[in-house]
A and B are shown apart, each in its own frame.
Chain A
Amino acid sequence: MYFLLRFCTGTLAALLLAANSQAAIPTLTVYTYDSFTSEWGPGPQVKKAFEAQCGCKLDLIGLEDGVAMLNRLRLEGENTRADILLGIDTSLTAEARATGLFEAHGLKLESSSLPRPWNDELFLPYDYGYFAFVYNRERLAVPPQSLRQLVEDEQGPTILIQDPRTSTPGLGLLLWIRKVYGDRASDAWARLSPRIVTVSKGWSEAYGLFLKNEADMVLSYTTSPAYHLIAEQDDRFAAAPFSEGHYQQIEVAGMLHGSRQKKLAREFLEFMLGEDFQRIIPTTNWMYPAALPSASLPPEFTQLIDPGVTLLFDDEQVAKHRKIWVDEWLEVMSR
């Protein structure tokens, strides 16, 4: 019987705890991904800095990833309690726009450090990065110079990648190869396939396997070596610069139509583009801030590779073709 008792008291305690959290000051609710809210992500510092200036409570709700956030919004529709969605990237913005749940931010991105002009009425970028293959210099002396060389050299290095059905970098590589090979992308995958050690569910698994030396290279970001440089003082890791250029990922935030805190929401978006927020990004999210001059970046960031040409599909194009491209990929990779 005491099991039952324990369960009841436990549940009661949980309910009381939850009821307590309703405070009198206004609350701004932000849906984001949970690596943003985690102890090591930007979340805790962002919350502190914003709450110090807004006289409000900032509630960061961490969901699994961008796709999970967008689906949550679709399920909640107009009744969502989110005021802001932060953390989808440009391969999802077209679908987010199609939900009709977002409201124009009405702000200008003035001090943009993005390598391309930005004029989206609904979404504002807060950081960006480039996909790249990362390797350990001590184990791989001569990395491929281009994506074509990686794909076509049969004696080339082994790689670890992520699944485009479950992971953002995985989808990024799919788009990267599509950008470089166009309609011949499937052939490229067929040629690359023998050197793919495995295709993991998410970034963490692949990167973990890479650190255990399961393959020569791993699909990650050009900024990954910065983590090892800054947090571990380890300069063995580098991203290989590819001559075709690197596929770009831009992470954005947008405010919701149904928000009851629109003034606060705009204030947050403005704050997001300000120096306080932007300075937090490089060493917590390990990405390039979207509105911070490069002189303000940590010095280690200057050791990172310059991606040269940046590749990016229009978000409408991604939304239109994503399913077909993933199906084609599945077809080739399942042979």
Chain B
Amino acid sequence: MNSRALPAGLVLVLLAILVVAPLVGLVNLGGLPGYQPDDLQFWQSAYIRRVLSFSLWQALLSTLCSVLPAILVARAFALQPSFALRAFLLRLFALPLVVPAVVAVMGIVSVYGSDGWIPLGRSLYGLNGILLAHAFFNLPLAVRLLLPLWQTIPQSHWQLAEQLGMNAWQRWRFLEWPALREGLPGVVLLIFMLCLTSFAVVLTLGGGPRSTTLEVAIYQSLRFDFDPVRAVVLALLQLALCVLVATLTFRMQRLPEVEISIDPVTHDDCRGHKPANLVLILLATLFVATPMISMLVDALTGPVLAVLGSVALWQSVANTLFIGLTAASLAVVAGWFLLRYSASLALAGQPGRARVVDLAGSIIYVVPPLVIGTGTFVLLSAHVDVFTWIYPIVITINALMGLPFVIRSLGPAMRQNHARYHLLCQSLALEGWNRFRYVEWPLLRRPLGLATALAAALAMGDLGVIALFGTPATATLTLLIYQQLGAYLIPSATVTAILLLLLCLSVFWLLERGIGGRFDA
């Protein structure tokens, strides 16, 4: 057990330092020129109360609108294990995650705006638009994260259900729901965090300052009002909200009591193609693909050659790839050690502590990159030339942001692998590299591939951190898109955005295939 606690402990300490130190750095900013500390009276203000309740409300509704349909769609995918384009569609479902917010807004407006394919008119702006955009981002992600849970149901159980003549409802009740209950709370929490910290989407599609989230208030404090202390307090408040939601969601979590199998055999023997499932998949695909298709249409009519001919573009591609891949590697390594530790805790009869470890790895997501970045800057700038450290800083923060995705996608499989093979490995004295090579790698490479791909895609689509430090040499594709938008070059920005999507799609495919092997997802 101790051999696991040590690396995990190191990761946890590192996480704590990376999050707490910047916060402390910001709080210590009292003596800055031009800084007037706010009396912490803002607690009483109606503004903060409104922001708090709106943040919670939109995040809860957005989570529901994303996760509930995602369960149905993931189930449809699970019960239709082989049809043309299935693997491609699932890969497509990982893309919305990387679309920069402003580009996604444009895509959504192309589809649902007043000149769009499904015009919603003014009613797009407000809660409708926010929910639509958040479902666009998170529904496909939830499908990707929930789908593997169906694969944890042993083949023998399906056969048993068949013999007992269970109908669809009974199969759901006795086979699928118990399997879902392990992973669902984590997915719900992750999506809740993503919606809670959403910023540009909420502001732009929200119709006005009625739709102000905590994240906007934090940004306002740190940027516009330059009140670092208030920013830290608000960030902690956001953190506390997430801990609260985490506690609530984990109450409904039950670890599966049955013996677990990780049987790669698909089970389409007893269930042929059900039209209902295919219709669900079609609808979900349309919902996810239409904004991207409209962007593609815009891009193809845009100045493709002019954009592709620019040297700056290819430098940005290189920077984006470098940051994405290194951040993903770091996130996966850190996530691996954390999960191995939490899996051994769970096996040792300490599921509570296991959850705390998982939670610690996930929850840093809600401390805004702006806060961590500015805090890090404050701490480092006095001692080193921050500009030479931009890559390590940006990569580290992106890795932090990717960690929750690693934990969600790799966690359940890791725990099951552990539950099933830990004793066997102990009796064979299989430890360290050999255990990784012969037991963990073959069975975990598929979720590991998904985890790496998700973390890489996320880092490639990130804007927040790199924009914070800003030098001419470190433009990423996302930053380039924003620069083009700021220079009236909206058609060029669409072309660049499509290029980013294609790049992410190929990286995703390579990582999932390369690490995960030739399975159908």
Binding site for B on A (CB under 8 A): 3-4, 6-7, 10-11, 14-15, 18-19, 34-35, 37-41, 43, 59-64, 67-68, 70-71, 74-77, 79, 81, 95, 98-101, 158, 163, 165-166, 193, 196-205, 207-209, 211-214, 224, 227-228, 231, 286, 323, 326-327, 329-331, 333-335
Contacts and interface: CB of A to CB of B under 8 A. Distances in A.
Contacts of A15: 388, 391-392
A14 B325 contact: no
Nearest to A61: B471
A48 to B, nearest CB: 13
Contacts of A203: 486
B224 interface: yes
Counting from the closest, the 4 A-B pairs by CB-CB distance are: A3-B329, A14-B391, A204-B485, A18-B388
Interface string B382-419: 10010110111001000000000000000000000000
Contact of A200 (B33, B204, B220, B395): B204
Contacts of B520: none
B140 interface: no
A47 to B, nearest CB: 9
B484 A19 contact: no
Nearest to B126: A198
Given A11-B326, A39-B312, A166-B219, A79 B209 contact: no
A79 B387 CA distance: 14
Contact of B488 (A14, A74, A200, A286): A286
Interface of A, secondary structure class, is helix
A327 B312 CA distance: 41
A77 B208 contact: no
Of B47, B113, B485, chain A has the most CB atoms within 10 Å of the CB of B485
A204 B216 contact: no
Interface string B370-381: 000010011001
Given A75-B378, A166-B220, A198-B204, A214 B109 contact: yes
A316 B377 CA distance: 29
Contacts of A200: 203-204
B122 interface: yes
Contact of A165 (B102, B110, B224, B325): B224
Contacts of B205: 198
A207 B34 CA distance: 33
Interface string B467-494: 1101110000001101111111110000
Interface string B450-476: 001000000000000001101110000
A81 B385 contact: yes
Given A166-B216, A208-B485, 18 more contacts: A3-B328, A10-B395, A15-B391, A18-B387, A18-B391, A34-B479, A68-B470, A71-B374, A198-B206, A201-B199, A204-B482, A204-B485, A207-B488, A208-B490, A209-B109, A211-B490, A212-B106, A214-B109
Contacts of A197: 122, 125, 207
Nearest to B109: A212
B200 A79 contact: no
B329 A204 contact: no
A49 B254 CA distance: 67
25 contacts: A3-B332, A10-B322, A14-B390, A18-B390, A39-B312, A40-B484, A61-B387, A64-B468, A71-B226, A81-B387, A95-B34, A98-B34, A163-B203, A165-B209, A166-B220, A196-B207, A197-B122, A197-B207, A198-B208, A201-B203, A208-B105, A214-B114, A330-B47, A333-B209, A334-B210
Nearest to B399: A7
B483 A34 contact: yes
A62 B377 contact: no
Contacts of A101: 33
Interface in B19-37: 29, 32-35
A231 B488 contact: yes
A158 B114 CA distance: 12
Contacts of A71: 222-223, 226, 374
Contacts of B392: 11, 14-15
B8 interface: no
A60 B207 CA distance: 36
B50 interface: yes
A329 B490 CA distance: 30
B41 interface: no
A196 B208 contact: yes
Contacts of A158: 122
Given A4-B333, A10-B322, A198-B205, A76 B381 contact: yes
A75 B32 contact: yes
B310 interface: yes
Contacts of B59: none
B33 A34 contact: no
Interface string B304-340: 0000001010000000001001101110110000000
A6 B210 contact: no
B471 to A, nearest CB: 6
A323 B225 contact: yes
Nearest to A319: B34
B25 to A, nearest CB: 10
B204 A165 contact: no
Of B122, B312, B468, most buried by chain A (CB within 10 Å of CB) is B122
Contacts of A95: 34
Given A74-B32, A214-B114, A330-B209, A35 B106 contact: no
A193 B219 CA distance: 24
In this complex, the member of B115, B224, B325, B482 whose beta carbon has the largest number of chain A beta carbons within 10 angstroms is B224
Contacts of A207: 485, 488, 490
Interface string B113-130: 111000000100100000
B32 A165 contact: no
A286 B199 CA distance: 28
A38 B326 contact: no
A62 B378 contact: no
A329 B224 CA distance: 15
A330 B197 CA distance: 20
A199 B207 CA distance: 6
A215 to B, nearest CB: 9
A231 B199 CA distance: 32
A197 B129 CA distance: 12
B226 A74 contact: yes
Contacts of B220: 165-166
Given A11-B391, A19-B388, A208-B106, A67 B224 contact: yes
Contacts of A212: 106, 109-110, 113, 115
Contact of B33 (A81, A99, A201, A331): A99
B485 A7 contact: no
A35 B102 contact: no
Nearest to B485: A204
A231 B50 CA distance: 44
Contacts of A40: 483-484, 487, 489
A205 B102 contact: yes
B148 to A, nearest CB: 21
| From A204, A330, A334, residue with most partner B Cβ within 10 Å | A204
B485 A75 contact: no
B33 A35 contact: no
Interface in B208-259: 208-210, 212, 216, 219-220, 222-226
A196 B471 CA distance: 36
Nearest to B203: A201
Contacts of B377: 75
B9 to A, nearest CB: 18
Contacts of A6: 325-326, 329
A61 B115 contact: no
A330 B209 CA distance: 6
Nearest to A196: B208
